[in-house]
Amino acid sequence: DVVLTQTPVSLLISLGGQASISCRSSQSLVHSNGNTYLHWYLQKPGQSPQLLIYQVSNRFSGIPDRFSGSGSGTDFTLKISRVEPEDLGVYYCLQRTHNPPTFGSGTKLEIK
């Protein structure tokens, strides 16, 4: 199975600051069709996960442009700029290029 290593485990960011989360894969996430199926989710406390970014860098419907994704191959990054109180929670990356789909272990974002 593909292993996704997320770092850091936790982040303490001031309101208005910037957060960066890394997701590294044990193998390339480029599908044979040329697409890269690496997604980012936020799970707010007591809620189900919500999709933020799909296929590396595409913001899902209704997601503000403070969230951005980048990367290729095996290294991916989620950046959150101008952090707001509602951004707190656990961020997960997911790959579904290879079966079975696998998640990173999560990064907890806390607000100072």
Partner 1 sequence: EVQLVESGGGLVQPGRSLKLSCAASGFTFSDYNMAWVRQAPKKGLEWVATISYDGSSTYYRDSVKGRFTISRDNAKSTLYLQMDSLRSEDTATYYCAVNWERWGQGVMVTVSS
Residues at the interface with partner 1 (CB under 8 A)? 39, 41, 43, 47-51, 54, 60, 92, 94, 96, 99-106
Residue (14 or 100) nearer to partner 1, CB? 100
CB of 90 to partner 1, least distance (A): 8
Q: What's the min distance (Å) between Cβ of 1 and partner 1?
A: 9
In whole angstroms, how far apart are CA 13 and each of 21, 27, 85? 12, 30, 10
Cα diameter, the chain: 43
Closer of 81 and 108 to partner 1 (Cβ): 108
Nearest distance in Å: CB 23, partner 1:
13
Contacts of 65-70 with C-beta under 8 Å, sequence gap 24+, read 67/40, 69/38, 69/40
Which of 28, 58 has the CB closer to partner 1? 58
Q: Which is nearer to partner 1, 29 or 94 (CB)?
A: 94
Side-chain-side CA neighbours of 53 within 13 Å: the count stands at 26
* Other beta carbons within 10 Å of 110: 10
